[in-house]
Amino acid sequence: MSNKINESSDLQGLTRLITEATIGITDLVEVMHRRVVHPPFFPSTPIQHLISNIAGVTYKNIRWSTQFMGSGVDRALGHFAPALGEIGTTSESEAIRSLLNGVVGDYLEEKENPLKIIMQFRHKAKAILLDSISLEKAYPAINGKILLMVHGSCMNDIQWTRKEHNHGAELAKELDKTPIYLHYNSGRHISTNGQNFNELLEKLVLHWPVPVEELVIVAHSMGGLVTRSALHYGQQKQKTWTKHLKKIAFLGTPHHGSSLERAGNYLDVILETIPYAKPFARLGKVRSAGITDLRYGNLIDEDWQGNDRFEIHGDQRQSIPLPNRIECYNIAATIGKATDPVSPRLFGDGLVDIESALGQHKNPDKDLRFREENSWVAYENTHLDLLNNPKIYAKIKAWLV
């Protein structure tokens, strides 16, 4: 299914999102109003109750009018759809859409919002149907060596190009491989994306126009977790594609989660315990299932099912080791210098801790044990520098030759 944006459906999606956000803010203001009028730990007077009741009518009217106008605009835009037709998109609009999906993608999917991203394979920013004719049309010089690029959270396939460099395009040209890019809604649970990715990969391999010689994956950030999840489910179901997978290169993947998300989780709990700040805890709980999965690096359904994802539970993941018979490579970035004994470990790449990116864990059962020669630390690099630094590209190329 195509992700090509329809102007009217995009506007419908934005209208729905603005409508829902307005109602959500109204709810937040009403709760804050009640907290001010009825201070915690003190009894309320009849006058205070009267004030709250009058204000309640006002908030109710705001919600009703917002919903009414939003529904009217939504229907009107729907009628304009045939006239507006489909239009092309810019890399900027795609980036905004991907960011939105990363932050609230599970919500967009739940509400069937037109802005949600549907998982698909793409080439040159265009969706590819998984049949041999479409694949041959997309790749006139197709061969049996597939190079699959998997982007990270809040990003998309176009953003593999950074500062006029694209790892996938360069590797495909220099190593004679056929490049293909995954595009997905990074706000969904990692395990949900992993299962969908597993099924898509099977279709891709089964409909590849020529015999598949090898499959190689390069994954950035969350993309590495989605890849590991897909491989777990694929091996469980003995999928054909797993037998073709030869190598995986992880770039800044938070194998054991991100300290930023863990800090956000603690902030949720702190806000909940402060009477006047409690309403603002709702704002922190807007973030998507994909983001909360990054707290510890959840890979499978069992890692999150049955838990309130905004409560503090500790690391309850099942241990999923690296696959056998598949070469796994790992690059961790850090903004620190190699000569500094403290900052590399303290700051990581700005988003991912260096131990997490290297797959290292104090619990031996969770330690991924990457081979020393298959791991490398890129000093004085940020999380996004992993996408374009020439030395990082050279390392990936050397591993994939």
**DSSP string covering 229-297:** HHHHHHHHTT-HHHHHEEEEEEES--TT--HHHHHHHHHHHHHHHSTTTGGGHHHHTTS-HHHHHTTTT
Global confidence as pTM? 0.80
Residue 322 backbone class (left: φ over 0; alpha: ψ -120 to 50; beta: rest)? beta
Rounded Cα gap, residues 66 and 78, in angstroms: 18
Same domain, 232 and 354: yes
Same domain, 137 and 214: yes
Query: Could you report the per-residue pLDDT of 360-399, keeping only the tens digit for each?
Result: 999 999 999 999 999 999 999 999 999 999 999 999 999 9
How far lies 263's CA from each of 84, 109, 158, 362, in Å? 45, 26, 30, 19
Domain annotation covers residue 187: yes
**For position 363, which CATH number holds?**
3.40.50.1820
Same domain, 235 and 349: yes
Taking residues 83-96, report their average pLDDT.
63
Rounded Cα gap, residues 385 and 343, in angstroms: 17
Domain residues for the domain of 62 are 7-88
Statement: residue 269 has pLDDT above 80: no
Which among 35, 67, 88 is the end of a domain? 88
Same domain, 237 and 342: yes
Res 10: pLDDT: 59
Please state at what angle helix 190-206 crosses helix 222-236, rounded to 10 degrees.
60
Query: Could you report the per-residue pLDDT of 170-220, keeping only the tens digit for each?
Result: 999 999 999 999 999 999 999 999 999 999 999 999 999 999 999 999 999
Which tokens in the block code for residue 283? 């704002």
User: What is the C-alpha R_g of the chain?
Assistant: 24
Same domain, 16 and 70: yes
